[in-house]
């Protein structure tokens, strides 16, 4: 992976992490088009820039994220992240296989897109607007929805957890914000495990030049994500999910055509 490739992939990650269109799918699609091959370093790179993008949440919502007077907020995040930690360990072989299957990812993109076309009409009576009203059972249910995004690459962690939140009567805005908050411990855990796995199995990857590439990608993804997160919240409140549904369907069809004609 050269510098240009790392910057482009980091921009893609930053733009798509908080949108319900699956940043993972976009990176898996972009890699072969850019000539980036899958290997332990590129897998680590994707995890690291996802973490960097998600840390923009801490910047945008730092007052709420570091309000230590509301300790229940942190407990809710722990409750919500537990299903993903368990699912990630138990279903690792399936996840690794699905991540390498672009056809599977494309179909999941299309299926998730169809769902988003109707999601605004499914949840029209959502009244919970404050994080304090998210109960521990509701947080756990949202966490279970996050598992779906892990076992179905291309579904979108953001989309799954936002829909999970809306199923618990959270407003679109609060569901999106809780999804952002939940992403922080989820990706911290994923990044730590990825580093540990690479350290044990492929220590040759952790060299000075690769750390420079990781750092560059992280900075780019973080800056782009700062802009994307502000855009998404504003757009979501005014317009809903439909445009993202149509985008997912169109992209999924394009990917299937590219696969059929052996372009990726």
Q: Which pTM was predicted?
A: 0.91
Count the domains in the chain: 1
Q: Tell me: the pLDDT tens digits for 202-225?
A: 888 877 778 899 999 999 999 999
Do the Cβ atoms of 46 and 23 come closer than 8 Å? no
CA distances from 214 to 24, 27, 39, 44, 205 (A): 17, 15, 14, 9, 11
Helices (H), the chain: 3-16, 23-34, 40-54, 56-60, 62-65, 71-90, 92-99, 102-122, 136-151, 157-167, 172-201, 208-239, 242-260
Q: 12 is in which domain, residue-wise? A: 3-260
The 10s digit of each residue's pLDDT in 136-195 is: 999 999 999 999 999 999 999 999 999 999 999 999 999 999 999 999 999 898 888 888
Closest CA to 53 of 219, 185, 260, 257: 219
């Amino acid at each position: 992976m050269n510098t240009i490739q790392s910057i482009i992939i980091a921009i893609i990650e930053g733009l798509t992490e908080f949108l319900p269109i699956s940043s993972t799918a976009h990176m898996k699609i972009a890699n072969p088009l850019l000539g980036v091959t899958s290997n332990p370093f590129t897998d680590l790179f994707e995890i690291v820039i996802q973490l960097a993008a998600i840390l923009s949440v801490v910047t945008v919502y730092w007052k709420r994220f570091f309000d230590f007077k509301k300790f229940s907020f942190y407990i809710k995040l722990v409750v919500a992240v537990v299903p993903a930690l368990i699912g990630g360990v138990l279903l690792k072989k399936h996840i690794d296989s699905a991540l390498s299957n672009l056809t599977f990812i494309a179909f999941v993109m299309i299926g998730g897109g169809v769902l988003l076309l109707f999601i605004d009409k499914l949840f029209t009576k959502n009244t919970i607007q404050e994080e304090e009203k998210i109960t521990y059972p509701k947080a756990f249910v949202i966490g279970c929805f996050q598992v779906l995004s892990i076992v179905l690459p291309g579904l979108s962690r953001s989309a799954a957890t936002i829909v999970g939140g809306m199923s618990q009567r959270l407003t679109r805005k609060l569901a999106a914000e809780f999804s952002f908050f939940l992403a922080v411990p989820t990706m911290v855990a994923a990044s730590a495990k990825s580093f540990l796995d690479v350290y044990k199995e492929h220590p040759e990857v952790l060299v000075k030049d690769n750390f420079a590439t990781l750092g560059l990608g992280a900075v780019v993804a973080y800056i782009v994500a700062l802009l994307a997160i502000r855009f998404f919240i504003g757009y979501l409140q005014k317009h809903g999910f439909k445009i993202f549904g149509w985008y997912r369907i169109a992209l999924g069809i394009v990917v299937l055509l590219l696969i059929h004609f052996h372009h990726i």
